[in-house]
């Protein structure tokens, strides 16, 4: 399967490390013009250097609707159109699992802002241009936590990712008449960034082995495994695939 994105313009959010970095590199290697977004400027610069001349970076908080509208308008003014959007920005924002009685409104909201509101705001911003051209691909990166439970016990994370999956299905039906597909990748546990490294260490040897034994393939995946699924959803091979959630988790 030879997948190329020549003459396509792509936005990847949460691209400072991990899945976002792997996804951005995969698009750049296949000929796309890639615009990477994150709040982490230093990490974003590293990704841009790895992606080469096809990549441009933008420091933006996807939970800020006005900032999202501004950056998408600037990208469209420069590139002419956005063909593919990957909503990868997310995470737990430094939180750890705690009893629900201890969760403040701010703790709850900040996770929803990046994981769910950011997905909505970004898709909302690119949709008019995609509708005008009658073409678009939107790929949301959720989590196994959105289909089951969070391994860390973070209530807001599991809830926001489940909400993102529901949003994926809703937008697939809303945007489908304009030849815009909306799909979702639900990764399993991957050691892909500082947060997941801390989680891996916190499991201890027994917890790590238990996690591995619950995976059909008895091993962890890599960010490149997630990027590969995104490449398929973004490609012409998936032109009649929409509203789908695919778990990339080694088998559960």
Instruction: Catalytic residue, from 27, 121, 157, 233: name it.
Output: 157
Is residue 212 a part of any domain in this protein? Answer: no
pTM, full prediction:
0.94
Cβ 111 vs Cβ 160: under 8 Å: yes
Phi, psi for residue 160 in degrees, rounded to 5: -65, -40
Is residue 202 a part of any domain in this protein? Answer: no
157 among known catalytic residues: yes
What is the per-residue pLDDT for 134?
98
**What letter would DSSP give residue 5?**
-
Torsion-angle region of 251 (φ positive above 0: left; ψ -120 to 50: alpha; else: beta): left
Is residue 77 a part of any domain in this protein? Answer: yes
Domain hosting 182: range is: 9-190+223-240
What is the per-residue pLDDT for 151?
77
**Count of domains forming the chain:** 1
Is residue 81 a part of any domain in this protein? Answer: yes
What is the per-residue pLDDT for 150?
81
- Helix (H, G, I), strand (E, B), or coil: what is residue 224? helix
Is residue 2 a part of any domain in this protein? Answer: no
Is residue 67 a part of any domain in this protein? Answer: yes
Q: Say which CATH number the domain at 157 has.
A: 3.40.50.720
What is the per-residue pLDDT for 196?
85
Strand order in the sheet with 9-13: 55-59, 33-38, 9-13, 84-87, 136-141, 180-187, 245-248
Is residue 147 a part of any domain in this protein? Answer: yes
What is the per-residue pLDDT for 239?
97
Sequential pLDDT tens for the chain (252 residues):
789 999 999 999 999 999 999 999 999 999 999 999 999 999 999 999 999 999 999 999 999 999 999 999 999 999 989 999 999 999 887 778 788 999 999 999 999 999 999 999 999 999 999 999 999 999 999 998 899 888 778 899 999 999 999 999 999 999 999 999 999 999 998 988 888 888 889 899 999 999 999 999 999 999 999 999 999 999 999 999 999 999 999 998
Residues 6+ apart with CB under 8 A from 215: 188, 249, 250, 251, 252
User: Which two three-digit tokens encode residue 69?
Assistant: 């509208």
Q: How crowded is the C-beta side of 9, counted as CA atoms within 13 Å?
A: 18
What is the per-residue pLDDT for 175?
98
As beta bridge partners, residue 10 has: 34, 84
Is residue 201 a part of any domain in this protein? Answer: no
What is the per-residue pLDDT for 198?
86
**Beta-carbon count within 10 A of 30 CB:** 19
Cβ 79 vs Cβ 133: under 8 Å: no
């Amino acid at each position: 399967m030879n997948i190329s994105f020549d003459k396509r313009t792509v936005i990847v959010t949460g691209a400072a490390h991990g899945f976002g970095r792997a996804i951005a590199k995969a698009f750049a290697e296949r000929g796309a013009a890639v615009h990477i977004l994150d709040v982490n400027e230093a990490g974003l610069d590293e990704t841009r250097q790895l992606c080469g001349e096809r990549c441009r970076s933008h420091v933006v908080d996807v939970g800020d609707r006005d900032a999202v509208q501004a950056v998408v308008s600037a990208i469209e003014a420069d590139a002419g159109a956005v063909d593919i959007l990957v909503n990868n920005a997310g995470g737990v924002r430094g939180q750890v699992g705690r009893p629900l009685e201890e969760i403040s409104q701010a703790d709850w909201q900040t996770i929803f802002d990046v994981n769910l509101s950011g997905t909505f705001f970004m898709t909302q911003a690119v949709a008019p241009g995609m509708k005008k051209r009658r073409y678009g691909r939107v790929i949301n990166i959720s989590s196994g936590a959105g289909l089951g439970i969070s391994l860390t016990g973070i209530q807001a994370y599991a809830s926001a990712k489940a909400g993102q999956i529901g949003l994926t299905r809703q937008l697939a039906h809303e945007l489908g008449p304009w030849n815009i597909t909306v799909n979702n990748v639900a990764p399993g546990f991957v050691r892909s960034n500082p947060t997941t490294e801390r989680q891996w260490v916190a499991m201890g040897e027994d917890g790590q082995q238990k996690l591995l034994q619950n995976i059909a393939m008895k091993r962890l995946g890599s960010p490149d495994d997630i990027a590969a699924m995104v490449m398929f959803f973004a490609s012409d091979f998936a032109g009649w695939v929409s509203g789908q959630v695919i778990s990339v988790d080694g088998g559960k």
